[in-house]
Each structure stands twice: as structure tokens, then as C-alpha cells.
A = this chain, B = another copy of it.
């Protein structure tokens, strides 16, 4: 007689089926067959010489994508949020002063993470769709004297591309590290980590890179490493402790690597493949393509009578476009209609932009004029078919 009190679930008897759809929301984006196939190669050990070679390739690819010579460059075994915690857990000690720029959801999340580990957190806040001037940032740096300043380069909840020039060097004058979230922007808009004086930069695999979600590139400047390796207390997380990660990724110059955790080897394969694709196209070509496609899209939207949420042209994220939620419509009805009728994901707002915007992401291989035409047609169709109240 069976000793089991829980029987095999019926639902697992149905074979897995997954629909193919156009992933034009703010991420994850579509993954081309080449990258999916890379991730389906056989599993090898997380400490085999071949995986260390693949990790070296990934490191070079990230250095290229980030435009950095930082030796401390690697991919975290997790999503963008894991990288965000990796940055904050390592760079911040309890009692440290941290400043975050909140003009959407990401600055608020960074603030919450820093608060959870006992930092004193101050925020500068701009309305959704807005951003910060250098002098506003300088004033806050001078007032709060933070050890770390968080800024989202691509604020995917509001569609803002934040200017980066000068901010790194400004932070350094105040003896502060600059931490930049480039999850939604990297590969689609110019970032020069070294030249711009960014101390910690991270992103995710599932946006412009078009790899499945599950790995998160990150890099630390020499200045960041100096603070991190002089910490008085250990970071709260063993899993994200940079001294362990540095050893696993061969960034600490030690001759042997010690078992830390089991790296997601197949996710590393697809990450490597996605970095190869980016290197083949060339970073500047990719930036230019995203910019051109975004402008083509924005013109098309305006011709339809729709309004862009971000007023200033140069502050529009070329990867994720925010459209002012059309008046008189229920935004949810629009996104649902488009998913149902066109098998195409676009999304509503997130955090402070909920109800205010529609968001369309065209990232990596998805960034093309043909896809813009598809989205514009779907939007036109939705505006015809969805219920409009007589406001």
C-alpha cells in the first residue's frame, strides 16, 4: 500500500504548451531561436573549465556592452532585482547614508532595499515622466552626503531616459558612489560606464539582450570595490557577497575557484549567445537602430492623435515608449483587446504611472519598423473596437 498522502497531480499529466506571441511590453522581450537553442545545450558542471571559459566570454561581452574596463564584471545568478540587491547589499553598510532618485518605480525599490538593510535613506522625487537636473542632484548630494546615489537610466515605468553626463563625476566630488540601473536601456541607448564615472552598473538579460530572464550583468568600478572590500560588516547575503562572486567569476586574481553556488549554466549559455548577437551588430549600430525605430514609432503615434507621456524628446527612452492613456478609454480594455485579437503584448503603467500610460517595449530584435507598423495597426484597431465613454 502506498505511504503517500499526496497523489500525483492530474494537471501535470497535460503536456506543457506555451503560446508564441509578440512580446512588445516592457519585458521580457522575444527570444530569437538562436538564443533559445543555445540555452538548450547539454548541462555541464558549474566548476568545469568549459563553463569558466563561457563565463570569461560573458565577462568580455558585458565589458563591451557597458563600455568598461572594470575587472569586477560578472553576471549574477538571478534577475534584475537580484543584481539590484547585489549592488546595494555589497556597497551599503548599516547606518550608511543612501540617496535615491525617484521618478518612477525603481528609485523607490532601491530605497526600500537599502532601508531593509539599515541604511539611512533619502529620496529626491520627480513627478512620473520627469527627471532631475544636475543642480537638483548636487543640492541633494550636498545636503545628505550619501555614500551611494541610485539613478535609473531607463525608467521603464514612465519611459524616461535619464541624462547621465556629469553625474558620476559630480558624485565623486561628494565622495559618493554612483549606482545606475540600466535594465531597460542598456544596448538600446548610449552608456559609457567608465567615461561617465558610473561606479556600479547592472542590467537584466531579458530586455535588449533578448535572452530569457534569469541572469543579470553587473560591474563594479575600482572605487566601488575599494569601499566594498573595506567593509566592517559582512554583506547580509552570502549568495550575493561580492568577494565570493568575484572568486567564482575569476575576478579576484586567485589561482583557484572555490565552490560558492551552482551557477545556472544553461542560462549562462543563452546570455553568452545574446552578447554575441550584440557584438556582431555593434553597440553603436544597436543604439542607432533603437533610436531610429523609436522616432518612427513616436511619429506614427502622434499622427494617430496619441500623445507621448514624456514631453522632452531627448528624455524619451528608445526601448520603452509611454503613451498617454487615451482619454475616455479604459487602458486595461485596450491591452486586453490587443492581446486577444493581435496576440501582442503591450502593457499599462507600473507603480506611479498606473492608469496614466500605455507602455510599448521594442527591444533588441523586436526593435524594427515592421514591428512598429504592427503595433500601430493594433492600437488603431483597439481604439476603434474598445468602448469609449462620452466624457
Query: Which A residues form the contact surface with B (CB < 8 A)?
Result: 2-9, 11-13, 15-16, 18-21, 23, 25, 27-31, 36-46, 48, 50, 54, 56-57, 60-61, 63-64, 67-69, 77-82, 84-85, 109, 112-113, 116-117, 190, 192, 194-195, 204, 206, 212-214, 234-239, 259-267, 269, 272-273, 275-276, 279-280, 282-284, 345, 350
Contacts and interface: CB of A to CB of B under 8 A. Distances in A.
A266 B39 contact: yes
A4 B39 contact: no
A11 B60 contact: yes
A269 B18 contact: yes
Contact of A36 (B4, B5, B40, B276): B40
18 contacts: A5-B192, A5-B194, A6-B64, A8-B64, A9-B63, A9-B279, A11-B56, A18-B50, A29-B43, A79-B239, A81-B238, A81-B260, A116-B234, A212-B266, A213-B262, A214-B214, A214-B264, A214-B266
Contacts of A11: 56-57, 60
Contact of A77 (B3, B42, B78, B117): B78
Given A6-B63, A239-B78, A267-B214, A42 B20 contact: yes
Given A30-B42, A45-B25, A85-B237, A77 B350 contact: no
B60 A12 contact: yes
